[in-house]
Chains A and B, each alone.
Chain A
Amino acid sequence: MIMTKQEKIIKADPWQQLKSFTRARIAIGRVGISLPTSEVLDFGLAHAMARDAVHLALDVEALEADIQQQQFTTIRAKSMAPDRASYLLRPDWGRRLHEQSLMQLQNISQAQPIDFLIVVGDGLSSLAVSRHVAPLLAEIRNFLPNDWHTGPVVIVSQARVAIGDEIGQALNAKMVAMLIGERPGLSSPDSLGIYLTYNPKLGLSDADRNCISNVRPEGLQYATAAKKLIWLAKEAMRIKVTGVALKDESEVQEIA
């Protein structure tokens, strides 16, 4: 009985079939001119997921274990941002290594350059990192040329994209692939981004990188992303540059 009354109060929209064309919140109905309770709660839950993705600290220990399972060694680092609040307020701090981390990395740096360095940063979504980095690495492992020296996977906390440049420089890497949690959307709290930078060093800009965005099962699949990344990396190795000069034609041509 109560259900029937409620259904009369809630005006459903008779264009439900259009929902199959978009994930936008269309045809959600109304009570008077307002949102039905269920919509308010759904929205609140989505926002809560996105907020947690930003604010919950990355479980570095668990991530290390996952990454090591993929036959990579790991090393930890941190940015100059001491906590999340200052990370959000000072993007410049998130782009630079903490002094201690810089020294540690320089100490293990070797004369033989790393061909392809992988850096994992929490960015704006720890959820993206904890969910997608390990399975993505498994796929990257499948496509990696055997003769490439990879070095340890660096896990850096309170990180922005550009911190990969300083890490790459400290570890004498020819190229760095930064795997980082993207700014979460309401319908995508766990998007992982990949930024590839050839000859990483301090002072580069986004124009010097290639970006692969929205890596997650509902977006770009792990295998597709890994294939694209390694295609770009091989091409970067060949033309010795990334960024605007390197066009992603991975779907057009395969590089042997």
Chain B
Amino acid sequence: MTYSYIAGTRTYQFADLKTVMAKATPARSGDFLAGVAAETYAERMAARMCLAQVPLKRFLQELLIPYETDEVTRLIIDTHDKEAFAEISHLTVSDFRDWLLSDVADTSTLKRVAKGITPEMAAAVSKLMRNQDLILVAKKCSVITTFRNTIGLPDHISVRLQPNHPTDDARGIAASMLDGLLYGAGDAVIGINPATDSLPALMDLYYLVDDVINQYNIPTQSCILTHVTNQIQLIERGAPVDLVFQSIAGTEKANKSFGIDIALLKEAQSAALSLNRGTVKNEFGESNVMYFETGQGSALSANANFGVDQQTCEARAYAVARHLSPLLTNTVVGFIGPEYLYDGKQIIRAGLEDHFCGKLLGVPLGCDVCYTNHAEADQDDMDTLMTLLATAGLTFIMGIPGADDIMLNYQTTSFHDALYLRKVLGLRAAPEFERWLKAMNIMDAYGQVQPIANIHHMLQNMPKHLLSAA
């Protein structure tokens, strides 16, 4: 198949499908850095015109990264559900956009075809979609997962409580945890990014969170975001591990740079499932035990993008995620820096694309709506993105005291932000967690957070790490 488009007197030629994809991508710094972006505005539109005419079937024939050398490609092809694909197999990328936006593609239809959609198809169609299209279609997708509560119900949004501390100080972590819980956050997961790599110190962190969850009987789950091999070892040593975390990317080589492959993730999943700590079962009679993080630019930063644009690489990471049935998958959209996503506009676009692609593929996508201080972005951009994503049915956001992560040195979303989204858009916490908030008098019968008195049960019976402060 040749890829070209004639615009006026000029013929635009594209060497192959991955070139068409890259040049059709909305402008972003990472694709310029990789040397794959369109050189002119007209070339970008020509690439989109060309991409629009590509049949979806073509993505099963012309593989962007070779089957022989990349296990993510093999996963995508080997697990492609032909029966699910049959319903859309006659469409071009252009038709696919129209179909997705039409009323034919309702929630149950989208769920039925999800396993027939490859990441490349999702990425391709997203390149022809405007922000409102990405929002509208994502909103129709339903991905529901369970562990100790139910995540992803329509008109709900959950919060990952992220009580990080630069030296993993137990009292510092417990203080942020309590702050978040009293603001109604923490139903997605209580997840700590540790500063340490030491197994005994990590073990202490597992017990710290587990103690709090048990002491207050909170229907939520914990996670310590260290390397998957550490978590497997800690499971063997008897640590109370709820969710297993790992950063993942969309190519085998990029995953190798993270020190992982799909087999290792499978091993970790089995180890976590063997603990049987989840109390709520999903439609397959299991709990979802994995927590993944992703982000556009990770493949390029590992020099492992193979000429594929960063958004398509990102969508491929969701194929890896989908294979492991995660409870949560988090695109950390603005963390990587301005050489990949330069400003608020690029971060907002990337966040919406990631959420759309993830949901279309059937992955429970949340977003770390965030930026670093060397990116051209600020709190206004975060307000815009979180409002758009929550409108699109985002599964969860981060909750950090005052939006300022003092351990990772970046700005994300706060407990206040989550309350704002719930209030403005009428969204709710996971039902089991919401019942707990009400039982604890943190939330009133109408779902509003209540003033906390200093005789409040949680302040009177603080985690043992904080008792010296009382």
Residues of A in contact with B (beta carbons under 8 Å apart)? 11, 13-15, 17-28, 30, 32-35, 39, 43-44, 46-47, 50-51, 53-54, 88-91, 124, 183-189
Contacts and interface: CB of A to CB of B under 8 A. Distances in A.
Nearest to A219: B166
A28 B338 contact: no
Interface in B390-417: 400-404, 406, 409-411, 414, 416
Contacts of B32: 89
Nearest to A55: B374
Contacts of B403: 25, 43
B198 interface: no
Given A11-B451, A21-B169, A22-B406, 8 more contacts: A14-B456, A22-B173, A25-B404, A26-B176, A44-B379, A90-B33, A185-B373, A185-B406
Q: 4 tightest CB-CB pairs across the interface, nearest first?
A: A25-B402, A185-B409, A22-B172, A14-B454
B179 A18 contact: yes
Contacts of B451: 11
A23 B169 CA distance: 11
A54 B374 contact: yes
B401 A28 contact: yes
Nearest to B172: A22
A39 B372 contact: no
Given A11-B451, A183-B374, A186-B411, A18 B402 contact: no
B172 A35 contact: no
Nearest to A88: B338
B15 interface: no
B402 to A, nearest CB: 3
A54 B373 contact: yes
Contacts of B406: 22-24, 185-187
Contacts of A53: 373
Given A15-B179, A39-B402, A24 B339 contact: no
Interface in B432-470: 448-449, 451-454, 456, 459, 466, 469-470
B178 interface: yes
B349 interface: no
B402 A183 contact: no
Contacts of A89: 29, 32-33, 338-339, 342
Q: Which of A34, A35, A185, A189: most chain B Cβ within 10 A?
A: A185
Contacts of B171: 21-22
A88 B374 contact: yes
Q: Which of A23, A26, A32: most chain B Cβ within 10 A?
A: A26
B427 to A, nearest CB: 12
A18 B469 CA distance: 7
B179 A26 contact: yes
Nearest to A20: B469
Contact of A22 (B176, B372, B374): B176
8 contacts: A15-B454, A24-B400, A28-B401, A35-B416, A88-B342, A183-B373, A185-B373, A186-B404
Interface in B163-181: 163-165, 169, 171-176, 178-179
Given A15-B459, A25-B404, A43-B403, A30 B416 contact: yes
A143 B338 CA distance: 38
Contacts of A21: 169, 171-172, 174-175, 466, 469
A87 to B, nearest CB: 9
Given A15-B182, A54-B374, A43 B466 contact: no
Given A184-B409, A187-B404, A18 B373 contact: no
A13 B182 contact: yes
A24 B401 contact: yes
A24 B169 contact: no
A56 to B, nearest CB: 13
B378 interface: yes
A164 B198 CA distance: 31
Contacts of A13: 179, 182, 452
Given A54-B373, A186-B409, A17 B404 contact: no
Given A34-B416, A183-B374, A88 B339 contact: yes
B400 to A, nearest CB: 8
B372 A183 contact: yes
Nearest to A49: B373
Interface in B23-55: 29, 32-33
Interface in B152-197: 163-165, 169, 171-176, 178-179, 182
Contacts of A44: 379
Contacts of B134: none
Contacts of A91: 339
B59 interface: no
Contacts of B163: 24
B420 interface: yes
Nearest to A94: B339
B419 interface: yes
Contacts of B452: 13-15
Q: Which of A25, A183, A184: most chain B Cβ within 10 A?
A: A25
A24 B338 contact: no
A34 B409 contact: no
Nearest to B174: A21
A41 to B, nearest CB: 12
